[in-house]
Structure 1
Amino acid sequence: MIPDYKISIEIQLDSKQVDFIDKQLHDFNVGKIGDYQYTPLFLLLRDSKKNVVGGLEGFIGLGWFHIATLWVAEELRGYGYGKALLLAAEQEAINRDCLNAYLFTYSFQAPKFYQHLGYEVFGELEDFPPRHRRYFLKKSLQKNP
C-alpha cells in the first residue's frame, strides 16, 4: 500500500527545511555530474569618496559565469562604466576557467547593451512582467582561434 501524502502551502519558511531540500537536490546533482560549487564574484565601482556608485554580482560554477546583477548609478550611465564592470568580470571569469557567461534581463533594462557586447538571446518570455519581456542571453568567453 502507498502511504498517504499531503501537500502544504508554507508562508513562513523554516530554514532547516529549505536547507534540507536544497541539500537533497545538491546530492542528487553531485551523483550525476560530480561535486561542484558556485563561487561568488563581486566587483564594485566607487567614487573618490569610496561611495559605491555601481557594481556587478555574479556566480561562477560548472564552467559558466552567471551575471546576476549589474548596476550603475543613473547619472553615470553612458560613460562606459557598465561596460568596464562587465568586461572586468568576464576576464576574471576566464581567469577562473569559465567558458561561457549567461544572464537574464528585462526589455526595460539593457538587452541591447549586452547584445552590443557579444551576448545573444537564447530565450524570451513575453508579458514577464506584463507589457514587458524577459530575455535570456549567453556569450562564449572562449577566444576564437
Structure 2
Amino acid sequence: MTFEVINEEDTQVFDTLVAGVRQHNIEHISAETSKPLSVVSRDGAGNIIGGVSGRTVYKNFLIGVLWVDKVARGTGLGRQLMALAEAEAKQRGCVVAQVDTLSVQAPKFYEKLGFDVVGRVPSFAGSPERFFMLKQYQ
C-alpha cells in the first residue's frame, strides 16, 4: 500500500472516488439518479452575471454555488435564479434543497427563501462561521 498527497485538481482521482461512493450507495440505498442542474443569467453581451449550480440526487437539490455579479446584486436576480432552479428540482421529484454558506456570504438570503439552519460550524481565527441550511418543499 502506498499513499500520495496531490496538491492540484485531478479529475481522474475525483471521478474514481465518486464512482466508489456511488457503488456503495447503490448497494445500500438504490440506483442513483444524480443529474446536474444549473440556471444562469447573461447580460446583453452574453456574459454570465449570475447563476446557481448544483445537482439533484435521491430527491435532494444539492446547491453547490450561487453567485450574482456586483452590478446585479439587490435587483432580485438571485431570487429569480433560485426560483427557476427550485422549480426544476421539484419537477425532478426533489423534496428538499440543501446548501452550505459562510456568514460573509448569504445565510440571510437563504433564510428569506425559506431555508432553515440545521447545522453550524463556529468561526475561528481565519475562518468565518459556516451554516448548513435545508429547505423542505411542500
Per the normalisation by structure 2, the TM-score is: 0.88
Runs of 4 or more consecutive aligned structure 1 residues displaced over 3 Å after TM superposition: 12-22
Q: Secondary structure at the match of 1:48?
A: coil
User: Considering only aligned residues, what root-mean-square deviation do their CA atoms show, in Å?
Assistant: 2.1
Partner of residue 21, structure 2: 25
Q: Is residue 2:3 matched to residue 1:8?
A: yes
Give the letter for the 2:106 counterpart: A
Rg (Cα) greater in structure: 1
Give the letter for the 1:138 counterpart: L
Structure 2: distance between partners of 1:10 and 1:112: 37
Trace 1:1-145 onto structure 2 (pairs within 5 A): 6=1, 8-11=3-6, 18-127=14-123, 130-142=126-138
Give the letter for the 2:74 counterpart: G
Deviations 1:94-133 (A, max 9, x none): 1111100000100000100000110000000012673510
Structure 1: distance between partners of 2:73 and 2:11: 39
Q: Secondary structure at the match of 1:86?
A: helix
Structure 2: distance between partners of 1:114 and 1:37: 26
Structure 2: distance between partners of 1:45 and 1:129: 36
The change in CA–CA distance for 1:90 and 1:9 in structure 2 (over 3 A counts) is: same
Which ranges in structure 1 are unaligned for 5 or more consecutive residues?
A: 1-5
Does the 8 Å contact 1:128/1:134 carry over to 2?
A: no
Deviations 1:3-53 (A, max 9, x none): xxx562422687655544433332221111111031001111111222211
Q: Secondary structure at the match of 1:67?
A: strand
Aligned residues: 137
Structure 2: distance between partners of 1:48 and 1:70: 21
Give the letter for the 2:118 counterpart: F
Q: Secondary structure at the match of 2:6?
A: coil
Quick one: percent identity of the two aligned structures? Answer: 34
The change in CA–CA distance for 1:36 and 1:128 in structure 2 (over 3 A counts) is: farther
